[in-house]
Amino acid sequence: MTNQTSDVLDVTDLRTYFPVRSRGLIPRTIGAVKAVDGVSLSLDAGETLGLVGESGSGKTTAARSILMLVRPTGGSVKIDGEEITDLSARKLMPIRRKAQMIFQDPYNALNPRHTVGAIITAPFKVQKVVPPGGVKKGVLELMERVGLNPEHYNRYPNEFSGGQRQRIGIARAIALRPKLIVCDEPVSALDVSIQAQILNLLRDLQKEFGIAYLFVAHDLAVVRQISHRVAVMYLGKIMETAPRELIYSRPLHPYTHSLLSAVPVPDPKRQAHRKSRIVLHGDLPSPIDPPSGCVFRTRCFQAQERCAVEVPPLVELAPGHHVACHFPIAVEDLPARAEVQALTADDPQEATPDVQIVSREEAADGAAGAAGKGRGAQEEALDEGGAAEEGVSLNKPRA
């Protein structure tokens, strides 16, 4: 069935809308949550694509749609060259062997009433696959491979820590040697010390088996450690996608700038410039009624009239570097500080948000950015110390 494309995963214009129904005797569909709205991406064998965006931007829905855990509203998903969006559950069966998922919450991802052995055996049973040496031997080897003690075969998930549970989930995911694993924030729920172990394990398994990862995360720091390419998502759409180094050293989209501004990213190149602070306020707009034109315009410091009327297409500005913005901006050109007061839901028709910008010159004047309205002494002190990462973060890492 494999055709000429070598991509393990090929997603084109994926859209997943959830109907919004009125309450009442006869529910009517009165709208749609556009959780994923025109996402395209692709993955080669053995490659990792990091998918980043703040909570609610549609990453999980995209991940679930790609594996047909929720049926997409439109678009195409090809796994190993085969179109799967229109396949029945029965026809999907053999393809599910090739694509697996690792979940965010290791407490929910394992059935509390099944032993570890039963959990890792399940994929073999369901797909009727017998590894050389038998299923039991295969399961024990898998446990060993992901760093679990095979003697714990008969234990229940409640006896394990979060990190060990995630290892169980990983063993289950790699059991059938899939070509693709969709990882939905696999380390967000774990302690920082354990995050690194799990990321290392995933990387080792990728080298050993040539698995491709679609790696979802809500901050750029985690993704940096594992991804070859990064895609930044906002309100159901891809804003920017580029090879890893470019995303961190030469980001062009205002949203990527603000994400980077919120996360401490040690990078000598970026240290060279005086680091800017792009501070976003307010929440993500509702995906039921997204802003016209560019969906980011209600919180964008670059927004202009044009952004309200024209949807920016995702265009390739450099090889492999795609940006969906009318006014992309390079790091050097960033203002020292931009504070964005998001448009509220009451005035979505207004074209541009209230933006306070401090230019480099002003900041350099030593005027301590006095122009910034509502800027407290404490924040100024932070600025002085160059502790940009302590600015109001767009995406507070979960505790």
Ligand X SMILES: Nc1ncnc2c1ncn2[C@@H]1O[C@H](COP(=O)(O)OP(=O)(O)O)[C@@H](O)[C@H]1O
* Positions in the binding site for ligand SF4 (CB under 6 A): 254, 294, 296-297, 300, 302-303, 307, 312, 325-327
Residues 248-307 that bind ligand X (CB under 6 A): 287
Query: Which position has the token pair 């203002």?
Result: 335
- Among Mg ion, another protein, ligand SF4, none, what binds residue 261 when CB lies within 5 to 8 Å by partner kind? none
- Is 127 among the residues that bind another protein (CB under 8 A)? yes
Nearer CB in complex with another protein: 104/241: 104
Which helix or strand (DSSP H or E) is residue 200 part of? helix 192-209
3-state helix/strand/coil string of 101-136? EECCCCCCCCCCCCCHHHHHHHHHHHHCCCCCCCHH
- Among ligand X, Mg ion, another protein, none, what binds residue 176 when CB lies within 5 to 8 Å by partner kind? another protein
What is the sign of the dihedral through the CA atoms of 251, 254, 260 and 261? positive
Strand order in the sheet with 9-21: 29-43, 9-21, 74-79, 82-83
CA separation, residue 78 to residues 18, 73, 110, 173, 238 (Å): 22, 15, 28, 19, 18
CA separation, residue 279 to residues 7, 57, 247, 259 (Å): 38, 18, 19, 9
With CB under 8 A as the contact rule, the residue among 65, 80, 103, 199 that binds another protein is 103
- Among ligand SF4, Mg ion, ligand X, none, what binds residue 353 when CB lies within 5 to 8 Å by partner kind? none
Nearer CB in complex with ligand X: 290/312: 290
- Is 69 among the residues that bind another protein (CB under 8 A)? yes
- Is 317 among the residues that bind another protein (CB under 8 A)? no
- Among Mg ion, ligand X, ligand SF4, none, what binds residue 254 when CB lies within 5 to 8 Å by partner kind? ligand SF4
With CB under 5 A as the contact rule, the residue among 57, 60, 206, 395 that binds Mg ion is 60
Q: How far is CA 242 from the centre of its chain?
A: 14
CA separation, residue 103 to residues 57, 66, 394 (Å): 17, 14, 23
Nearer CB in complex with Mg ion: 222/343: 222
**Rounded Cα distance, 24 and 359, in Å:** 54
Q: How far is CA 379 from the centre of its chain?
A: 29
Terminal-to-terminal C-alpha distance of the chain: 45
Query: Which position has the token pair 């594996």?
Result: 67
With CB under 8 A as the contact rule, the residue among 5, 22, 108, 271 that binds another protein is 108
- Is 143 among the residues that bind another protein (CB under 8 A)? no
With CB under 6 A as the contact rule, the residue among 50, 53, 169, 391 that binds ligand X is 53
With CB under 6 A as the contact rule, the residue among 12, 18, 42, 341 that binds ligand X is 18
- Is 225 among the residues that bind Mg ion (CB under 5 A)? no
- Is 64 among the residues that bind another protein (CB under 8 A)? yes
Question: What are the residues facing 182 on neighbouring strands?
Answer: 101, 214
Which x/- pattern, by CB under 8 A, does the window 151-190 give for another protein? Answer: -x-xxx-xx---------x--x---x--------------
φ and ψ at 88, to 5 degrees? -75, 165
**Beta-carbon count within 10 A of 328 CB:** 20
Stretch that binds ligand X, among 57-65, 168-176, 317-325, 348-356 (CB under 6 A): 57-65
Q: Which residues bind another protein (CB under 8 A)?
A: 64, 67, 69, 92-94, 96-97, 99-101, 103-105, 107-115, 122-123, 126-127, 152, 154-156, 158-159, 169, 172, 176
Q: Which residues bind ligand X (CB under 6 A)?
A: 18, 33, 35, 53, 55-61, 287
